[in-house]
């Protein structure tokens, strides 16, 4: 992982130099874990929690026919998915953080003076950076657990608002909904549904 991160950062910075805008987002993840192991006597446990969200990336217009409102964005993300839950026999909690690369397409469908609204669809590919599971008083490292390690694909949809501040700068706010799809072994059927609220800034690299 330590060798991969510098390459990802270099790639983003290289693209940024030739793109039309850069952005950052900070926010919160509201996660819901669904957990059930293989035992026929086990019960399904609902686990909910809140974690931090960070995103840094670039965006550029997509030239598709006459649709000038389409934009492509690529970013580096760091997301915490945390949660706690209680069953009839156990107290279970997760604390995890995933480093990923996110690609999205935005369609601006509303514009009024200094205010803009966009719809977003995208895909996030991430791997666990750190994680632990607590069952009652026992703590387990999740980094090398098959249900959590490896690549996690997260399709997402969202809506974003931008408010014009200067010729090159905007304030932004967004809501994203996503579901994690673990590639490979997932014998305990662990899935993470997530609602994300973010606030940030957007800056044009080419003056209007």
What are 146-171's pLDDT values in tens digits?
777 788 999 999 999 999 888 788 99
In this prediction, residue 105 carries a pLDDT of 94
- Specify the residue for token string 């662990």: 190
pTM of the model as a whole? 0.82
Query: Two tokens at 9?
Result: 């950062």
CA 59 to chain centre: 16
Are the beta carbons of 126 and 77 closer than 8 angstroms? Answer: yes
pLDDT mean values, one per 10 residues, the chain (208 residues): 48 46 96 68 74 96 74 96 84 91 94 91 95 87 81 94 87 95 67 94 77
Are the beta carbons of 148 and 96 closer than 8 angstroms? Answer: yes
In this prediction, residue 196 carries a pLDDT of 98
Task: Give the angle 194-176-19 at the CA atoms, nearest 5°.
Answer: 130
Task: Give the angle 34-86-49 at the CA atoms, nearest 5°.
Answer: 60
Write the burial class of residue 162 (CB in 10 Å: 0-12 exposed, 13-18 middle, 19+ buried).
Answer: buried
Question: What is the spatial distance between Cα 107 and Cα 56, in angstroms, rounded to a whole number?
Answer: 19
User: Which fold, 4-204?
Assistant: Porin (2.40.160)
Instruction: Domain ranges for the chain, please list them.
Output: 4-204
């Amino acid at each position: 992982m330590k060798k991969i991160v510098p390459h990802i950062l270099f790639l983003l910075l290289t693209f940024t130099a030739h793109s039309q805008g850069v952005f950052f987002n900070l926010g919160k993840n509201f996660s819901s874990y669904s957990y059930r192991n293989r035992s026929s006597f086990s019960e399904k446990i609902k686990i909910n929690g809140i974690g931090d969200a960070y995103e840094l990336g670039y965006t550029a217009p997509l030239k598709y026919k006459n649709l000038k409102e389409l934009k492509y964005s690529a970013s580096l993300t760091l997301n915490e998915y945390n949660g706690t839950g209680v069953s009839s026999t156990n107290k279970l909690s997760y604390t995890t953080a995933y480093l990923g690369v996110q690609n999205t397409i935005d369609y601006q469908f509303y514009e009024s003076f200094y205010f803009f609204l966009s719809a977003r669809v995208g895909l996030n590919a991430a791997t666990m950076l750190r994680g632990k599971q607590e069952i009652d008083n026992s703590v387990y490292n999740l980094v090398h657990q098959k249900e959590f390690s490896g690549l996690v694909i997260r399709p997402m949809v969202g809506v974003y608002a931008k408010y014009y501040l200067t010729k090159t700068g905007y304030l932004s706010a967004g809501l994203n909904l996503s579901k994690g799809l673990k590639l490979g072994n997932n014998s305990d059927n662990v899935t993470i549904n997530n609602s994300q609220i973010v606030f940030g800034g957007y800056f044009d690299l080419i003056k209007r």
